[in-house]
Amino acid sequence: MNAFTRRADRALDDRLLKVAVERTAGTAEVKRAAAVAAFDDFEQARDRAAAIKDHVVAHLGHYLEQFEANATAAGAKVHWARTADEACRIVVALCKAAGAKSVARSKSMLGEEIGLPHALAEAGIARVETDLAEHIIQLADERPSHIIWPAMHKTREQVSALFRARHRQPHVEDSIPAMAESARRQLRGAMLGADVGISGANFLIADTGGVCTVTNEGNAELSLVPPRIHIVTAGIEKIVPSMPHAVHMLRMLTRSATGAALTQYTTFYTGPRRQGDRDGPEEMHIVLVDNGRTTMREEGLAEMLRCIRCGACMNHCVVFRQIGGHAYGGTYPGPMGAVLTPVLDGLAASRDLASACTLNGKCQEVCPVRIPLPTLLRGWRERSWREGLEPTTMRAGIGIWAWVAARPRLYRLASGFAVKALRFVADRGWIARLPLAGGWTRHRDLPGPARATFMQQYAARQRKGGSR
């Protein structure tokens, strides 16, 4: 049994995990459906969103240069990072140069992708996660299990117990508002007292040099405006040409993620504090991270760069709904994670992800930017096959079966024999246990076959004359 299967089995045994995932993903599914139904021609809006991203990805260099020029003109400093390590080194160096003791971080999956929490800890810089769910994750010393709701795997009852154990002044009454208040007491001081605020970006706007974040808690604003320095880490695919494009993508993002028309807070940060501004950081740094993205564009995964990290694919995935996010083993879970993780962590360590998918196509159906996720997952399966990563039994099985399937007479003989053998082990039509098919019969019965194959019966009928 490999690492993925072990993690999946552990997840399947965790009944609370199932409860937690169903509560959040189930609600998201219902709300998204309502939001899409209320939208005037969502299908056309998806086409437009996909076209915007494809255009940007095809002209990435142009828009990144434009973004750099405009962000610089607004007073921000743009840094370029080819790898995760390079990005972390830049951020840590900026923090150290500022003499920062503590940073307030607003949730960013890119930050998780590049291992920023770990890099900050290694540099001895205290990190306060200010997103409520990231705060829960930090208290529990875990990793996010979903890209929108990092603490999706925890029930509110588990969170309540965690807050009681770890907060200075925890809630008394067991209600969500009381728990939120407890987190607010814990976090507000840390946000206001941080030396540096670090965020990701939902969008980078090329023609203004601005950075957009969306949150429902306002934690980004509180983490990024009061500190002296604001550092943004963003993947280079986050770029959009202009504000109208950003707004279109925003409409797709919020509806696809939570079913909301808009998040509570949508903020565009364009440069540091200007003369006459009442607040804002003294310095703004934007670290643009490649970390495999230009390679993706060259290696047949350009469509994946459309992804706006809404999480709809995982919310609607039958596999994710059963095993949750941690079982995937990478930064990004679900269908989009199954496509991205081999890029980030290598295919050898993650080949199961593309296979642990029924190819039912639901993820593609709900993707706001029409990423052909099943096709991309098939691509990883093909590469895994080519590179010899698939198990020997599967390779041999497919090989023998395909050889026989190309020889109809032999195939007729083999299928006729298999049918007889299956009938031999069937009991009143059903097979409850079958050697080599334990994967099936451990959990369900196998209906036994008829007395003869279709082709045998059809040939017999033809000999008698008439087709029936």
Partner 1 sequence: MTETPSVALFVTCLVDAMRPQIGFAALHALEAAGCTVVVPPEQTCCGQPALNSGDRARAVLLAQRTIAMLEGYDYVVIPSGSCAGTIRCHYPEILADDPAWLARAEAVAARTWEVMAFLDEVRGWRPDGVTLNASATYHDSCSGLRELGIKAQPRRLLAAVGGLTLKPLAGAETCCGFGGTFCVKYPAISNAIVGEKAQAIDASGAQLLLAGDLGCLMNMAGKLHRMGSPVRAYHAIELIAGMGDEPAIGEDA
Interface residues with partner 1 (CB under 8 A) are 5, 8-9, 12, 318-319, 322-323, 355-362, 364-365, 375, 378, 380-386, 390, 394-395, 398-399, 401-402, 404-406, 408, 411, 415, 418-419, 426, 428-430, 432, 437-440, 442-455, 457-459, 467-468
- Which among 250, 238, 254 has a CA at the least distance from the CA of 206? 238
Cβ-based nearer residue to partner 1, 21 or 120: 21
Please give the structure tokens belonging to residue 457.
């019966």
Per-residue CA distances from 428 to 66, 421, 449, 453 (Å): 72, 14, 11, 18
d(CA 414, CA 169): 71
d(CA 123, CA 96): 9
CB of 1 to partner 1, least distance (A): 10
CB of 41 to partner 1, least distance (A): 19
Cβ-based nearer residue to partner 1, 26 or 193: 26
Angle between helices 15-38 and 243-257 (to 10 degrees): 130
Cβ-based nearer residue to partner 1, 86 or 390: 390
d(CA 285, CA 224): 12
Cβ-based nearer residue to partner 1, 274 or 395: 395
CB of 372 to partner 1, least distance (A): 10
Cβ-based nearer residue to partner 1, 17 or 190: 17
Cβ-based nearer residue to partner 1, 211 or 373: 373
CB of 143 to partner 1, least distance (A): 21
CB of 257 to partner 1, least distance (A): 20
- Burial code of 77-112, b = ≥16 C-beta within 10 A, e = fewer? bbbebeebebbbebbbebbeebebebbbbbbbbbbb
Sign of the alpha-carbon torsion through 324, 330, 333, 338:
negative
Give the rounded distance of the alpha carbon of 13 from its chain centre: 23
CB of 344 to partner 1, least distance (A): 20
